Amino acid sequence: MVSKIGKNPITIPSGVTVELREGEVVVSGPKGALSVLIPQSIKVQSDGSTAKVSTDSEEKMTAALTGLFRTLIANAVQGVTAGWSKSLELVGTGYRATLTGENLTLAVGFSHPVVIKPPDGIKLEVENNKVTVLGINKQIVGKVAADIRNVRPPEPYKGKGIKYLDEKIRRKAGKAAKAASGAAGAK
């Protein structure tokens, strides 16, 4: 029993090696190497150009895990070839981001600047009011981007804050708009 996603083979591009070890899969490529820990119930086979994830167990949970680990290995393959990136945008008057060495300094309306030190393997780029997080590990790239966004999440009235570049902010009507629409029937 294998999940719908788990039964699809993973295409391994040239220049990428997938090494199978006891309890882990190591994916190496031009941008670096990543390892994915694999439970004993999941089996991974590789023939050089493709990798396949399978299981002998008939349990539903193990079948679901084949899809998870197939996706984790595919993410590692993409990470060591093309890398991952997540872009954020600073929206608000006076909101600025600057790079000081490797550290990101954010001026987002607090009385002090907020300094974020990226973990190893993560590179930050700043262009105008946009911050881009780059790295080979999709999970760490997403975590760092979420940490940056959580410094000043976008608020629903004016939309000020730090948001993902493709994020849509649900806007609310302010008190003035509510009072204008509700004042017609109120006495």
Q: Which CATH superfamily is domain 84-164 in?
A: Ribosomal protein L6 (3.90.930.12)
Q: Render the burial of 151-176: b for 16+ CB within 10 Å, e for the rest.
A: bbebeeeeebbbbbeeeebeeeeeee
DSSP state string for 66-114 = HHHHHHHHHHHHHHHHT-EEEEEEEESTT-EEEEETTEEEEESSSSS-E
- Position 55 scores a pLDDT of 87
- Position 64 scores a pLDDT of 85
**pLDDT, tens only, 170-181:** 888 888 877 777
- Please give the mean pLDDT across all residues of the chain: 90
Q: What token pair was written down for 159?
A: 């939309």
**pLDDT, tens only, 36-74:** 999 988 999 988 889 999 888 888 888 888 999 999 999
Q: Which residues contact 143 (CB under 8 A, 6 or more apart)?
A: none
pLDDT confidence bin for 138, thresholds 50/70/90? very high
Same CATH topology for 10-82 and 84-164? yes
More confident residue, 185 or 146: 146
- Position 3 scores a pLDDT of 78
Q: Is the pLDDT of residue 1 over 70?
A: no
- Position 61 scores a pLDDT of 86
- Position 186 scores a pLDDT of 54
What does pTM read for this prediction?
A: 0.86
CATH node for 10-82: 3.90.930.12
Which parts of the chain fold into alpha helices (H)? Answer: 60-81, 138-149, 175-182
Q: Is the pLDDT of residue 114 over 90?
A: yes
